[in-house]
Chains A and B, each alone.
Chain A
Amino acid sequence: MAKKQDRGTRNRFYDGYELARWRKWKGFKDSWVDFREWLTEKKISGELLKADPVRAFKALTYYHWMAPYLGSGSMVDRTIDDAHGEALLIAHKYMQFLLKSNVDALVKILKADERFGKNENAKKMVIFEQDASPILIGGFPNLTNAVEEPYFGILATANDQHAGHYFTDIIDSYGLPSDSCRNSSVVCGVAIDDQLPYYGACLITSNAPCDSSVMNSSVVERRLKVPSIQGCTPMRWKDEDTREYAIAHVKEVIKFIEDCTGETFDWDAFMKTVRQYNEETRIQHELWELAKSPYYPVPSVPNLLYRSFQLSFSSGLNENCAKIGREMLKICEKCVKEKINVRPKTRHRTLVCGAPSSYYMHFSTWMYECWGVNTVAVLNNMSHHEFICEDDREEALWGVAQLWEQAIMRRHLVGGYENMLELFEEYERFNCDMIVYYDDITCKGSKSMTGMIQDIANERGIPLVWIAHDLIDPRAISRNEMRKQFNDFMFTVMGEEPLDASLLDFDDSKGW
């Protein structure tokens, strides 16, 4: 534990928790920005209760996966802790997008949930599994979409590190080995425990990103009891000859939605969504260009969350996404142009690879504060980044198929080992000098490449550290154990001393 005489960032927290004795003082201007944006975030969170108080109350008392949203304020604090100046504003804006999208989606689900009374909203809702982009809903202006899995697993655990225990214990006791991907198994736990909302006209399952998510679909399908179709795109997605099959799939999904809802696919509306999606993608490409600069101000964690859920919460369907993106772009351009350094502690520029632990999303924040390791690029974010054709319908459907094929995590995990080894190209592209690999111990596709990745890193003299974690369950590998792995690497391999020793070893196992 940190000694009392250490005067550092950790001293303001109660031991064992992330409850701070006082808010971090960031100077007058930044503290004011922090307070102002904090108020906005509280307002956004409150909308969940305001939209339909009765249903919200029932949901909060019924669904185990809902309660963690009460901790969303703490999640925001954790993810922006290392941000100052322009970076602070960017971090808040990203987190507000995430909160707003999340709240809007939850409100939609609650209003359609027939567990709390019959309603017509349910029949107008199409459910998508997490990695299946809902972009097709753009072609059905009278319908709405719900993206299922984030609330139960990754987002819930990002809010509260203990949120996944209940459901992982259920599925473990049901007989699923705990070595299976925890994100997929949490969703199964929710299904087995009858904690899925009763909603939706139909369900589009997905074979992304991996074997376990292929398998968990049948459990969810069985429990949801709505018509379903398998939106499963090719694995060898770089093989041009898979195109015909992929497009056929997308067409079948469209027809399925039409059959289930009685709606007709509106090509004009869909193309409008495609244009919006392309705008989001264009902004992201421009941001990546700026990220090569030492003056790139975006803190990695809010960006990681924004980018991770952009596919689920927008894919061209949420105008707010591009709006926020444009604002971010403007700030970033200013920082790069005027050489404003808002990450002054930077000693290393790192590329982060692998699935980050959802119970320790803010690991990068800690790396920066404690060691000055600045995450400038996240490999997972380099997904779903292809533009979709706006002029030709068949080409546009191919674009949708590619969006599914190259969804987050799937983009590098399947389709050939070359995709995973792209991390070394990204390392060069973003002028990094270190790689941090989040080693999800349940991710078989990633684990099966460890030796090769280490060999290549050794060959090229790239410092690479593996941070083992359990994705959802901190009981397997705690946050502090993750920190210890990194500390050991920095002391022994890099031969460096920390910037803030109070952050080296502390207990936050009881906190959100």
Chain B
Amino acid sequence: MKDLKHRVLFEHLLSDVKNELVTQALDEGKKALGYSCYFVPEVLMNLDGCFSVRLRAPGIADTSIATYYMSEKTCMYSRSILERAIEGGYNFCSALLSTETCGMMHRAHEHFEMLGLVKDENERFFVSHIDAPFVTKDYAVQHYERQLKKHMLDRLHDVYGVDVSEEALRRAIEKHNELCRVVTEIGAFRKQQNPPLTGYEFHLIELVSECCPHELILPYLKETLEELKTRKADASPWYRVRVVLAGGENDDPDFTKLIEDCGAFVVADRYCFGSLPGREEIKIRDGETALSAIARHYIETNECPRFMNPEKVHGRKQYLKQLAKDYHADGLIVQQMKFCEYWEYERMYCQHVMESEYGLPCMGIEKEYINTSTGQLRTRFQAFVEALEMKKLQQGV
């Protein structure tokens, strides 16, 4: 296939958290709000006058100082965020919106406060912590809504004078939905038997949509969507098998590329920083306030293994099965950041139940934030691809 027009631009935008578009938005006087978890609704950080930046640490080579503070036996993503923060990489942020969801990530965010990071650059910089529920009951959603109001909206209004009125929230939802529609439409191409984009390309697209100011990245995404409508795929599919990629934090498109280099087309991205879930439109029901709709939406669509109620525990597996069906996947890869306790358990369980109970072949891998040990991973992916191919042959597909 011919390269996407903006592929190089997207790759370039992802090479630095404070990229050209972020700088442009800052120059326009907007406030950058950092976050790193789906429990912090992206839409609320894109109210008028501010924009969301999902924190990443591209190109991080060494986490020595963060390792001193957090020890070497903790999630490397969390340590990388802290290291980058100590380096001053997030000094452009006006706030860090955090949730006490995974313990290590939260601790990394707490170090912003303990070490007084970013404060030198911006005295008004604050870190706010949301208490997110573990279940999806009505009272849990109401609690979540109260927390969003107190720890996000009220803080943004009080510190930066952000308009958090009902009208402002509704405007933010509209703009958010527009972006979601475009990304979802792009992602839907992956359902095709011979699609005009790769999993790697989609990973780039999804990431730039999370790491760049929405208003500035949207024109590029729309243009890409139009391009894909006429983009000619190769004469025959380039892949050998199709897989759903699930798991914890994954903001590295090269990891997707590694899988695809082994012949497995990543058709669905159900991981932290992925679009499934993440790019569903927010719908406001009759009689519902915008904030209530947002709280409900983010609890309903959330697939984090942290949820404990059986509906979610079983629902997560059903969701993976449904994705495999919708995207015609042959198998499932569950990746887990080393030391991530939520995904350690979820990966273990998926490896045992997805094939036996849901009929979906599954492999599980443990990885670091930096894409290392690629040789070993490549061998494992190749073996999985061969196993899936054998299975297809045996089934006469």
Contact = CB atoms under 8 A, between A and B. Distances in A.
A252 to B, nearest CB: 7
Given A215-B342, A415-B100, A444-B341, A450 B134 contact: no
Interface string A214-238: 1111110100000010101011100
Given A417-B107, A448-B107, A175 B341 contact: no
Nearest to A450: B71
A181 interface: yes
Q: Which of A210, A215, A236 has the most CB of B within 10 A?
A: A215
A188 B346 CA distance: 13
Given A179-B339, A232-B308, A244-B143, A219 B349 contact: yes
B134 A212 contact: no
A200 B100 CA distance: 32
Interface string A238-249: 010110110011
Nearest to B316: A218
A449 interface: yes
Contact of A447 (B74, B102, B346): B74
B373 to A, nearest CB: 15
Given A416-B110, A448-B107, A212 B308 contact: no
A180 B341 contact: yes
Nearest to B138: A248
B352 A211 contact: no
Contacts of A176: 344-345, 348
B206 to A, nearest CB: 26
Nearest to A236: B131
A272 B104 CA distance: 40
A235 B342 contact: no
Contacts of B338: 177, 179
Interface string B83-103: 000000000000000001011
B225 interface: no
Contacts of B341: 180-181, 210-212, 215, 444
Contact of B129 (A207, A228, A416): A416
Given A218-B308, A415-B100, A444-B73, A175 B139 contact: no
B339 A449 contact: no
A438 to B, nearest CB: 14
B130 to A, nearest CB: 8
A463 interface: no
B310 interface: yes
A441 B72 CA distance: 10
A87 interface: no
A445 B134 contact: no
Interface residues on A, range: 35 or more
B26 interface: no
Interface in A425-446: 441-442, 444-445
Contacts of B100: 235-236, 414-415
B308 A207 contact: yes
Contacts of A445: 103-104, 107
B259 interface: no
Contacts of A221: 310, 313
B interface: dominant SS: helix
Interface in B99-143: 100, 102-104, 107-108, 110-111, 113-114, 129-135, 137, 139-140, 142-143
B103 A211 contact: yes
B78 interface: yes
B342 A241 contact: no
Given A245-B139, A252-B137, A211 B102 contact: yes
A241 B148 CA distance: 11
Contacts of B364: 175
Contacts of B104: 444-445, 448
B129 A175 contact: no
Interface residues of B, number: 53
B69 A234 contact: no
Nearest to A454: B68
Interface string A164-189: 00000000001111011100000010
Given A252-B137, A451-B69, A228 B131 contact: no
A447 B70 CA distance: 6
B40 to A, nearest CB: 14
A110 to B, nearest CB: 28
B110 to A, nearest CB: 5
A245 B143 contact: yes
A417 B104 CA distance: 12
A205 interface: yes
Contacts of B132: 235
Given A205-B308, A415-B100, A448-B104, A219 B345 contact: yes
B345 A216 contact: yes
A176 to B, nearest CB: 5
A241 B150 contact: yes
A452 interface: yes
B306 interface: yes
B114 A452 contact: yes
Contact of A230 (B308, B351, B352): B308
B281 interface: no
Contact of B135 (A188, A230, A414, A447): A230
Q: Which of B108, B131, B140 gathers most chain A CB within 10 Å?
A: B131
Contact of A212 (B69, B143, B147, B345): B345
A327 to B, nearest CB: 39
Given A176-B344, A241-B147, A252-B137, A448 B71 contact: yes
Contacts of A417: 107, 110, 113-114
A203 to B, nearest CB: 11
B103 A414 contact: yes
Contacts of B70: 447-451
Given A242-B143, A245-B131, A245-B146, 7 more contacts: A174-B352, A215-B342, A241-B150, A417-B110, A444-B339, A445-B103, A445-B107
Interface of B: 68-71, 73-75, 78, 100, 102-104, 107-108, 110-111, 113-114, 129-135, 137, 139-140, 142-143, 146-147, 150, 305-306, 308-310, 313, 338-339, 341-342, 344-349, 351-352, 364, 366
Q: Rank and list the top 5 A-B pairs by shortest CB-CB distance, nearest first.
A: A451-B69, A245-B143, A448-B107, A215-B345, A236-B131
28 contacts: A174-B352, A175-B348, A175-B352, A176-B344, A177-B338, A188-B345, A207-B134, A207-B308, A211-B342, A212-B345, A214-B134, A217-B308, A230-B309, A234-B143, A244-B142, A245-B140, A415-B100, A416-B110, A416-B129, A417-B110, A417-B113, A442-B73, A444-B73, A444-B74, A445-B103, A448-B74, A449-B107, A450-B69
